[in-house]
Structure 1
Amino acid sequence: MAAELYPSSLTTSIPNDPAVTPSSKKSIIQEPDQETEPAPTSTQPNANSSTETGSRWQASHPTLRERNALMFNNEHMADVHFMVGSPGETQRVPAHKYVLAVGSSVFGAMFYGDLAEEQCEIQIPDVEPAAFLTLLKYLYSDQIELEADTVLATLYAAKKYLVLALAKACVAFLETGLEAQNACVLLSQSRLFQEPELSQRCWEVIDAQAELALRSEGFSQIDPPTLETILRRETLNAREAVVFRAVVRWAEAECRRRGLPVSTANRRAVLGKALYLVRIPTMTLQEFADGAAQSDVLTLEETHDVFLWFTAAVKPALEFPAVPRTGLTPLRCHRFQSSAYRSNQWRYRGRCDSIQFAVDRRIFIAGLGLYGSSGGKAEYSVKIELKSQGTTLAQNRTKFLSDGSSSTFSVWFEHPVQVEQDIFYTASAVLDGSELSYFGQEGMTEVQCGKVTFQFQCSSDSTNGTGVQGGQIPELVFYG
């Protein structure tokens, strides 16, 4: 059985589940104000390394940092040992009390405080060996090495022993790899570890990419309090039918975690009051009939009452909230100062209008604002696309109706796309319809929109004349 992803207290072991970690990358961070000589990087025991701890090893390692780093995970002069890990997976780790006490107030109290530990072997069953070794490496050498599959466990160890710089590095590592697939699990852990900044970053992703987050495997692995917190979220940008399906999947996973048969009664039991946080009356009648009404999660009476609520003039009282979520309000970055039209442009013959942009903070591109016909009402077929370094991140083929005005018309991607800071992305549109269109003039290379600064540059993909100074794609529609 897979380990639970939500401990009941801070003394519970944090799991190693690569599926819920931000990425498979490794981070090595050297503290800036320290010596920069290389330190040993292996986390394997050095217990019998006679070549490194011979009679003249001090002379061959001239700096204090080198000598301290050499003693990491080394039996030489070790005056304490830790038995780290759960029973059956325990690893014996040698250490030196003075080094640990200098780097951690918890270790300082443990070894030199009024209630100092007398024993030379200390049991630590709630910390994973790999995470403990990462903690010790930092205390011995100021070097931080983080792995995606152990960073949560390392954060737990750093918080337990009040090694704040390491904890901060763990949070930064998690933020770097934060995406819809792991945002719900990381929200659960950030609440557990009392990391409000990480929680806020998780909410930004969950709100903007709610449907992707709710459909992720990670959502099924969160703890019940986090489930209720997400379901209460007013700014969740998701259809309620998607929310309901996600809740049912979570209930099935929770039954399996508790060793219960996946039955109607057990699903309702594990959901408890969380079921009544789903805003079922805000679905369409068709969504309800095709989904929740056939799920066997609702009672016959609840199903009957919801159908009456949709169809009857006098509506019955329901336990489910009937007010839709507000969701997020999209923001619009407009890059032109004026628009115009002339009889000989802007024309479309299947050519591509494209522009490159970069932002100074993470946002979520939801769609593009486009100009329509300058000759009266017209319908356009359009393909929009968002790329980064030649890789397509999102595209959509759809139609929009232009009313003949110079207003912009929004065309949306299926899901908002996460855009990272200081990276150039390419937004493109290929239109087919009325040839003559409005176009933008007096384009700006830099636009401040709310808290976000956009930079624009010409794209080599543009074959229809669009550039920074003028053309199509007047707006980027985003959350951020």
Structure 2
Amino acid sequence: MVLKVEDDEPYGETKPILDAGGTSDAEDTDLRIQEVYKSITSTIKTDPLTIDKPAVALDLFSTAVHVKNAALAKQCIEILNNLLNKRDALLILNHLSKCRSDTTGDTCDLEPSAPPIEEAPDEDWVHDLVDNLRNNCLLEIDKHADYVLKQKEFLELVYADVLSITTRDTLQVSSEIIVYSAIMRWCIEECRRRTLQTQKVNLKAVLRDLAYAPRYGLMSKKEFLCRTIDGVKGPDRSGVLDEAETERILEHIRKRGKNNPGELPFKGSVPRRASNGKHWMLHSGMTSTKGTCDKFIINFLTCWTAVFD
């Protein structure tokens, strides 16, 4: 089945078939969802889904979660993995996190439909499938950190995702000042969402462990002492670090390359390292470099699943 999206449709403005929480404003909306769902699943065995827009696949995934069809959700996740790139990594990651928080339990509650249209896999396997896609998003972010951390979508992430991204040892960022700028811009946006004034006490309360995500000891003295960066105050002026912490970091920066300055807490002086650049295969659980061969295998398995599941 081919789901067509008009080329002139504004990106990111696709109206969801259903939100991640599975709620509707009217009773007839749910009936329409069921009709669309039956139409999709009635042809899915003989005509695999072809989707070229991540937003559409995410909307359909939310519907699959709502109607508890694991086979349809599986296809959506495979499609998303195939479409994954640096531009859409945050969109997909954010949606998966909202799915976790909006459904009952810690993870998406995928169960067979009643009566079952497709035989659902083991629940833990489905959860692993979602986790693998999330891991692939993080690997994609690692490789394009400078680009991703400056995206406006970064400011829309939940706290846990911001922390996961910015504390990764494998984040390939050209300078730690970019990480600092990202967490501060996110913090200011989060204060606005909570209707808090951007005072030092509120910034520190919102940031929590994020205040130590940037590896300050790897910054240059000029970067650490900069007045502003991307519209936010520099590290020694923002107030998120106390005076003793600031002095210790400056001492480390001054001694770096001359004497042994020791290590800073929270990995503040530990260089990040490049990841192996590999993605998790969705079916076998083995790692493989994402490329043309992987895309062929995923497409083949998608068709195979649709015909024989």
Q: TM-score, normalized by length of structure 1?
A: 0.41
Identify if the C-alpha distance between structure 1 residues 175 and 258 changes in structure 2 by more than 3 Å, giving closer, same or farther: same
Which of the residues 147, 153, 163 maps onto 1:218? Answer: 153
Contact 1:185 1:222 in 2 (8 A): no
Q: Which residue of 1 aligns with 2:273?
A: 326
Contact 1:20 1:181 in 2 (8 A): no
- Partner SS state of residue 236, structure 1: coil
Which of the residues 163, 167, 181 maps onto 1:232? Answer: 167
Contact 2:176 2:215 in 1 (8 A): yes
- Give the aligned residue type for 2:68: L
Cα distance, 1:161 vs. partner? 3.0
Contact 1:185 1:221 in 2 (8 A): no
Q: Which residue of 2 aligns with 1:248?
A: 184
Q: Which residue of 2 aligns with 1:196?
A: 131
- Partner SS state of residue 225, structure 2: helix
Is 1:297–2:240 an aligned residue pair?
Answer: yes
Q: Which residue of 2 aligns with 1:209?
A: 144
Cα distance, 1:303 vs. partner? 2.3
Residue by residue over 1:95-142, the C-alpha shift from the partner in whole angstroms, topping out at 9 and shown as x without a partner, is 5xxxxxxxxxxxxxxxxxxxxxxxxxxxxxxxxx7x665433323443
Contact 1:251 1:271 in 2 (8 A): yes
- Partner SS state of residue 292, structure 1: coil
After superposition, residues 11-26 of structure 1 pair within 5 angstroms as none
Identify if the C-alpha distance between structure 1 residues 259 and 90 changes in structure 2 by more than 3 Å, giving closer, same or farther: farther
Q: Which residue of 1 aligns with 2:68?
A: 162
- Partner SS state of residue 275, structure 1: helix
Cα distance, 1:292 vs. partner? 1.9
Once superposed, what is the RMSD of the aligned Cα atoms?
3.6
Residue by residue over 1:216-239, the C-alpha shift from the partner in whole angstroms, topping out at 9 and shown as x without a partner, is 122211111222222231111012
The 2-side partners of 1:305 and 1:156 are apart by 48
- Return the structure number with greater relative CO, CA threshold 8 A, min gap 6: 2
Identity %: 24
The 2-side partners of 1:219 and 1:212 are apart by 10
Residue by residue over 1:350-372, the C-alpha shift from the partner in whole angstroms, topping out at 9 and shown as x without a partner, is xxxxxxxxxx9646xxxxxxxxx
Cα distance, 1:327 vs. partner? 2.4
- Give the aligned residue type for 1:246: A
Is 1:180–2:86 an aligned residue pair?
Answer: yes
Identify if the C-alpha distance between structure 1 residues 317 and 93 changes in structure 2 by more than 3 Å, giving closer, same or farther: closer
Cα distance, 1:20 vs. partner? 5.9
Greater strand content: 1
Which of the residues 111, 119, 137 maps onto 2:39? Answer: 137
The 2-side partners of 1:287 and 1:326 are apart by 21
- Give the aligned residue type for 2:190: E
Q: Which residue of 1 aligns with 2:217?
A: 281
Cα distance, 1:188 vs. partner? 4.0
The 2-side partners of 1:203 and 1:287 are apart by 26
Residue by residue over 1:426-472, the C-alpha shift from the partner in whole angstroms, topping out at 9 and shown as x without a partner, is xxxxxxxxxxxxxxxxxxxxxxxxx99xxxxxxxxxxxxxxxxxxxx
Identify if the C-alpha distance between structure 1 residues 137 and 259 changes in structure 2 by more than 3 Å, giving closer, same or farther: farther
> Which protein is bigger by CA-based radius of gyration?
1
The 2-side partners of 1:155 and 1:223 are apart by 20
Cα distance, 1:245 vs. partner? 0.8
- Give the aligned residue type for 1:217: K
The 2-side partners of 1:156 and 1:173 are apart by 14
Q: List alignment gaps of at least 5 residues for structure 2.
A: 1-9, 101-107, 109-126, 227-233, 279-287, 296-309
- Give the aligned residue type for 2:177: A
Identify if the C-alpha distance between structure 1 residues 330 and 206 changes in structure 2 by more than 3 Å, giving closer, same or farther: closer
Q: List alignment gaps of at least 5 residues for structure 1.
A: 1-17, 25-42, 44-83, 96-128, 332-359, 364-420, 423-450, 453-480
Is 1:268–2:204 an aligned residue pair?
Answer: yes
Cα distance, 1:200 vs. partner? 3.0
After superposition, residues 350-389 of structure 1 pair within 5 angstroms as 362=290
Q: Which residue of 2 aligns with 1:152?
A: 58
Identify if the C-alpha distance between structure 1 residues 170 and 133 changes in structure 2 by more than 3 Å, giving closer, same or farther: farther
Identify if the C-alpha distance between structure 1 residues 316 and 165 changes in structure 2 by more than 3 Å, giving closer, same or farther: closer
* Between 188-197 and 254-263, the greater mean CA deviation after superposition: 188-197
Identify if the C-alpha distance between structure 1 residues 261 and 168 changes in structure 2 by more than 3 Å, giving closer, same or farther: same
After superposition, residues 107-122 of structure 1 pair within 5 angstroms as none
- Give the aligned residue type for 1:154: L
The 2-side partners of 1:19 and 1:94 are apart by 25
Q: Which residue of 2 aligns with 1:335?
A: none
The 2-side partners of 1:158 and 1:207 are apart by 29
Q: TM-score, normalized by length of structure 2?
A: 0.60
Contact 1:20 1:185 in 2 (8 A): no
Identify if the C-alpha distance between structure 1 residues 91 and 323 changes in structure 2 by more than 3 Å, giving closer, same or farther: same
Greater helix content: 2
* Between 233-242 and 293-302, the greater mean CA deviation after superposition: 293-302
